[in-house]
Structure 1
Amino acid sequence: MKTWFYLPLLLLGFILPGCTKTTNEVVIPNKTILVDIKSTDWKQVNGVWGVTFIVPELDNSTNQTDGVIVSMSRGNAVFEILPEVYQDQSYTVIHNPGNIVVELRGTDGRPTIVPAENITFKLVLIPSSQIQ
């Protein structure tokens, strides 16, 4: 009689260990770079205002494979991802090996004005792998 009492406990002992969940998390750290830009740092080339960031971490391999995200904050600690239109001005991003360029243009052919306040740009490089 005692054998029948222990049989369910024995079976439960075999079933429960098989129900454990195993997760393998791989965390690949990104690189975040903060750059403060003054209104005097903007340069005009061919009628387009722009600012260039030298980013040595953005090599040829990183430029081709990894994710590059640029966002900006106008001193209020709120970052907005570019490209974006803000107060009838269009911000666009161009990245090449070694540098990132943020261009500022007026919308609908309107003239553009360089921002009077300082802007903080956040550059985030996210490692990725290319599948072919």
Structure 2
Amino acid sequence: MKTWLYLPLLLLGFILPGCTKTTNEVVIPNQTILYELNPGDWKQDTNGMYYFVIPVPELKNVNQTDGVIVSLARYAPNSSEEPQNYELLPQVYNSQTYLVTHNAQAVEIDIKGQNGTASTPPATKVRVKIVLIPSVQ
């Protein structure tokens, strides 16, 4: 009689381990865009502010939940060695305020003088790194 009571428990022991939960993860990779700017590439507006517009057609697929990260690396003076340290924008560097705006076609980097001082473009070549990070909500 006791054997019949243990039979359902024994059968459950064989059935339950066969059930496994599977999860499907969708990984959407980010996209990195590198852009080189020479000192003479910067333009000056009527207010004395320097700016540069980087065309980024990949931005047309970016929505409000996605991330756009812009960083800047300076080359050492008189050096062709590629920079390794990127600084996240916006920031203040050498009394210059670096600002970033973007729309569906381009990223604009503006340089303003701190506290009303005149702005000056970087004296060396810089590399701009733009990282587009998709987000699935």
Q: TM-score range by the shorter chain?
A: 0.7 to 0.9
Matching of residues 93-108 of structure 1 within 5 Å: 93-108=100-115
- C-alpha root-mean-square deviation of aligned residues, in Å? 2.8
* CA distance in structure 2 between the partners assigned to 1:83 and 1:34 by the alignment: 17
Which position in structure 2 is the counterpart of 1:3? Answer: none
- What displacement does 1:99 show? 0.6
Contact residue 37 and residue 121 of structure 1 kept, 8 A: yes
User: What secondary structure does 2:59 align onto?
Assistant: coil
Which position in structure 2 is the counterpart of 1:58? Answer: 59
Change over 3 Å in CA distance of 1:89–1:63 after alignment to 2? farther
Which position in structure 2 is the counterpart of 1:68? Answer: 68
Q: TM-score, normalised by structure 1?
A: 0.77
Structure 1 vs Structure 2: percent identity of aligned residues? 46
Aligned residue identity for 2:89:
L
Which position in structure 1 is the counterpart of 2:44? Answer: 44
* CA distance in structure 2 between the partners assigned to 1:12 and 1:88 by the alignment: 71
Q: Structure 2 residue aligned with 1:82, among 77, 80, 89?
A: 89
Q: Which sections of structure 2, spanning at least 5 residues, go unmatched?
A: 1-11, 76-82
- What displacement does 1:65 show? 3.8
Contact residue 63 and residue 96 of structure 1 kept, 8 A: no
Change over 3 Å in CA distance of 1:118–1:21 after alignment to 2? farther
* CA distance in structure 1 between the partners assigned to 2:17 and 2:64 by the alignment: 48
* CA distance in structure 2 between the partners assigned to 1:117 and 1:21 by the alignment: 56
Q: Which sections of structure 1, spanning at least 5 residues, go unmatched?
A: 1-10
Which position in structure 2 is the counterpart of 1:31? Answer: 31
* CA distance in structure 2 between the partners assigned to 1:78 and 1:17 by the alignment: 51
User: What secondary structure does 1:100 align onto?
Assistant: strand
Change over 3 Å in CA distance of 1:78–1:12 after alignment to 2? farther
Change over 3 Å in CA distance of 1:63–1:24 after alignment to 2? closer
